[in-house]
A and B are shown apart, each in its own frame.
Chain A
Amino acid sequence: MRLMPVFKWAIILAVLVCTVLFCLGVGEEWINPFNANGQNAVILWELRWPRLLIAFSVGGLLALAGAWFQVLLGNPLAEPYVLGVAGSASVGAVAGLMIYPESAVAMSIGAFIGAWLGISVVMAFSHLGSGRMLLAGVVLASFWSALLALLLALLPKSELGLAFSWMMGDLSHSDLPISLLLLSWIVALGCGLQLSRSLDALLLGERHAEALGIEVKLQRNRLLLLASAVTAVAVTAAGTIGFVGLVVPHLMRLMFGSLHKAVLPASAIGGGILLMLADSAARTIVAPSELPVGVLTAIIGVPLFLFLLLRRS
């Protein structure tokens, strides 16, 4: 896209504002965000608005983590879920439910520990290089899903509903405070921008990055730690939501080029937009019931990603 950068940012911000207004209004019943009174105002500002903020911050965090993992692994197909983190977080969540039945808090804590564990195991393979690390992630994903199947078989039937809704991505049961999620979004973006020169240099491969003066090992470890922490927060808040981390950075690179001073903020906002739209669709399509948002991000994300792949080739 050959547009001036300022126009591209204007487009992103305009889409963000329109998305927020649209997602506030849409639901079982359309509510005009500029003219809501009484019960409608309660629905708008106490139900839809907080959930929108959760979707925005979680989507942004997932997109940032995806952008970082892709550079770390030198592979634009990498994201937390490809690396088996979704699987390990799910194992943690279900283990939490087994220990403290019916406790969403135990499930969230379990998910957080599981996400950390999953990334720590993948990190142990980081010295083998990007390709093998990605392969290790794919193999580990199979291991975690086998372990998950085992735990689900042992889980009491009464707990299955909660476990499944979390595993498919669910923003309605988030136990993390919204302020913490928004703060994580700001801190993650700030840290990412601090590391953007290293990220840019790593696009040339580790050897070229080192030759340009980057302490590659140190910066890789910092990025892995940051990406892991961000993934753990996002997974804990919303369960397993795939493809946001895969599609959004890819899309933003097509729009803004590859340098991270633009790609990271654009991804943080773009991820938020995508998840706000997906979550609004999830709570509207079969209202008053809800669809799992992870299913929708996959349904939107996979064809979009394949289209982008074809377009690039």
Chain B
Amino acid sequence: MSGLIQASNLYLQRGNKQLLSGLSFSIQAGKITVILGPNGAGKSSLLLALAGLIPADGELLLNGANMAGYQRAALAKQVAWQGELPPTEFGLTVKQRLLLARGDNDRDMSPAVSAMEIETLLKRPLAELSSGERQRVELAALMLREVPVWLLDEPTAHLDLKHQAHCLKMMKKQAAAGRAIVTVLHDLQQAVVVADFIIFIDGKGYAESGPADQMLTIDRLSTLFDTPLIGQGKLLVPDYGDGI
């Protein structure tokens, strides 16, 4: 199976901890791949490796070419990464943040701005915004990148329910338009709604990947998260002991 990104026999280490041992998977255009796993398992590290921002052992191919051979600027034209919120010390405004993301392309900013409902925030410094508002700005910044692969690290973090829904809809729309999306999610329900493919990582070296309908089963997820789950249809929740 070939894809925009092809990972073969991937090894990832953080300090002395082996996060991944020989994982292989493929990232497809037009599909959403969700990375699931407990805290500290290495989900964000895997995303950073896919963005070429940290080194990984094994083979990582982007459009058939070794990712390590890409110049930084060439890589940025293929892959966009949304991760931690950027610092606010220097007084950047929302508009300036978006201009930095847009770079040299003259793409109209208004669709991204209205999709994330940040029209009224444009002139405000990032430092004055709440975490949720800043997250929406980051998602709008991502939408301004004209690249085939999006890597998102917990895109719905900090967002209220309405904007979580906006974010998930936007991801599905972008995937339908042909973009390859890889995202780390903590909410299983969100994963069930958007995922085409799943990558499981347990942080102890075990990892596997596959189509969402095969991977998102109560047994597998209960084992992965080391906690009992109960579910009905597409609803999956931890078993709090009270039933659903």
Contact = CB atoms under 8 A, between A and B. Distances in A.
Contacts of A76: 89-90
A208 interface: yes
B90 A213 contact: no
Contacts of B86: 203-205, 208
B96 A212 contact: no
Contacts of A70: 90
B90 A207 contact: no
Given A204-B97, A204-B100, A213 B76 contact: yes
A41 B74 CA distance: 60
B81 A211 contact: yes
A258 B77 contact: no
B212 to A, nearest CB: 27
B72 A200 contact: no
Nearest to A208: B86
Interface in B126-182: none
Given A207-B84, A213-B77, A214-B72, A75 B100 contact: no
A253 B72 contact: no
Contact of B51 (A205, A211, A312): A211
Nearest to B151: A211
Interface residues of B, number: 28
B18 interface: no
A201 interface: yes
B84 A213 contact: no
A258 B51 contact: no
A253 B91 CA distance: 8
Nearest to A201: B100
A71 B97 CA distance: 15
A215 B91 CA distance: 23
B75 A213 contact: yes
A212 B103 contact: yes
Interface of B: 48, 51, 53, 71-77, 79-81, 83-84, 86-87, 89-93, 96-97, 99-101, 103
29 contacts: A70-B90, A71-B90, A75-B89, A76-B89, A203-B90, A204-B87, A204-B92, A205-B87, A207-B53, A207-B81, A210-B53, A210-B72, A211-B51, A211-B76, A211-B79, A211-B80, A211-B83, A212-B76, A212-B100, A213-B75, A213-B77, A213-B103, A214-B73, A253-B90, A254-B91, A257-B96, A258-B92, A258-B96, A259-B96
Cβ-closest 8 pairs across A and B = A213-B76, A204-B86, A213-B73, A211-B81, A258-B92, A258-B90, A203-B90, A215-B72
